[in-house]
Chains A and B, each alone.
Chain A
């Protein structure tokens, strides 16, 4: 891996380590969504097994938008973004570092949220639990690789924060569907999650490749 990639990665990790802005706000927000959903749907034993996967995925999705909006807004101050545009390195490395950093943030939040979530919804895993360790990262990657890309795209427009959700959610829907279906299949143990895992993997490969190819175009759009 290239040193430019590592520089960006370490810089973003260090900023987050010192401020904890993204992780704390995401964690609190995701927790709130979980509480609100459980008040709205009143999850009892059978119902909670069925809806828990969906609630976890949607809570992650909403929460990560707040971090994704900050991902590039942070670089606007002191014209950091303009400086990055002028560097001779390829934008793909910057993009990849940002995706990885945000992937780590969202995964940390999911990891912290999971126990809390299992307690609140009285869950037990009926299927193969280890498969969740595959599904959640795949879904998170789908969310973050598109999210970082579209955050860079919408940062140039009016209503940038609104626009990110408007663009990201429709594109993310197929992956959300896969993520929710696979998680629910594992929790209830009634269906086979593998078809959805394959679909998620395909989605991740397609959208990561295209984002890497087109990131320079978006980043240098004038």
Chain B
């Protein structure tokens, strides 16, 4: 059963990604104002939404580690692995947002980058999670896990600032696609379908990478534990 799921899920993910690509590039109509360049949104917006989701996964892992680190060590280690995996996948998704945004901006605004609130805060978010990954590199052991979990919570505090920045501050970035007022939302059903399929496909892809990364990290932890126990046994 587990084996079947492990084979089937990647297969479904790849099929979804192919279908999403087909929908975004061949089926969805051109944007009336922007033309072909608007198709980049079928990648840009899902990645932006999902990077928040993966940072949320990282936050849950960080809180879980801090909650259970004394009482339930196994659960705490699993939470720590989840926090790391969530942060890594989130950073990748955020990188894609930061790369696809300027590609669109160059055509639509005539500039690659502008220091408006939402772009800046997304960049800040990326920097914070990169510094989280650096902190994990610079120290070791359970101490590092505690410190990283604390920084993970600080990083997550920045996420609502990023999300709300578009409404708090005047900004050059287009208004939110969903929930941005009476005119927001995608009106064309073919566009909405292409968008939905891409969100689903990239969600499954992210989940797959998250799952793999989580298991690799769990193995790392188990080997480190085993080595520590062997060293202790040898010392006796």
Report which A residues bind B (CB closer than 8 A).
153-154, 156-159, 163, 166-167, 169-171, 173-174, 177, 195, 199, 206-207, 210, 214, 217-218, 221-222
Contacts and interface: CB of A to CB of B under 8 A. Distances in A.
Interface centre among A195, A199, A217 (most CB of B within 10 A): A217
B66 A217 contact: yes
A158 to B, nearest CB: 5
B138 A207 contact: no
A167 B137 CA distance: 13
Contacts of B204: none
Contacts of B127: 169-170, 173
Interface residues on B, range: 20 to 34
Contacts of A222: 142-143, 146
A195 B66 CA distance: 35
Contact of A163 (B121, B138, B143, B154): B138
B157 A221 contact: no
Interface stretch (B51-59, B76-84, B128-136, B213-221): B128-136
Contacts of A173: 120, 124, 127
Given A174-B158, A218-B146, A163 B135 contact: yes
A210 B154 contact: yes
B161 interface: yes
A50 B108 CA distance: 29
A173 B146 CA distance: 24
A97 B131 CA distance: 27
A158 B124 CA distance: 24
B151 interface: yes
A153 B124 contact: no
Given A167-B131, A167-B135, A170-B130, 12 more contacts: A156-B147, A170-B127, A170-B128, A173-B120, A173-B124, A195-B168, A195-B169, A207-B157, A210-B154, A214-B153, A217-B66, A222-B146
A218 B128 contact: no
Contact of B153 (A154, A157, A210): A210
B144 A157 contact: yes
Contact of B139 (A156, A174, A218): A156
A170 B127 CA distance: 6
Given A157-B147, A222-B143, A174 B138 contact: no
A154 B132 CA distance: 12
Contacts of B138: 157-159, 163
Contacts of A207: 154, 157
Given A159-B138, A163-B138, A153 B131 contact: no
Interface string B19-45: 000000000000000000000000000
Contacts of A210: 153-154, 157
Given A199-B168, A207-B157, A217-B66, A170 B151 contact: no
Q: Would you list the 8 A-B pairs with minimal beta carbon distance, nearest first?
A: A157-B139, A170-B127, A221-B146, A157-B138, A170-B128, A173-B124, A221-B143, A167-B131
A112 B219 CA distance: 56
Contacts of B66: 217
A120 B150 CA distance: 42
Contact of A174 (B124, B142, B154): B124
B147 A170 contact: no
A116 B138 CA distance: 39
A157 B141 CA distance: 11
Nearest to B168: A199
Given A217-B150, A218-B150, A177 B120 contact: yes
Interface centre among B121, B130, B154, B155 (most CB of A within 10 A): B154
A166 B158 CA distance: 16
B132 to A, nearest CB: 8
Nearest to A146: B154
A199 B130 CA distance: 25
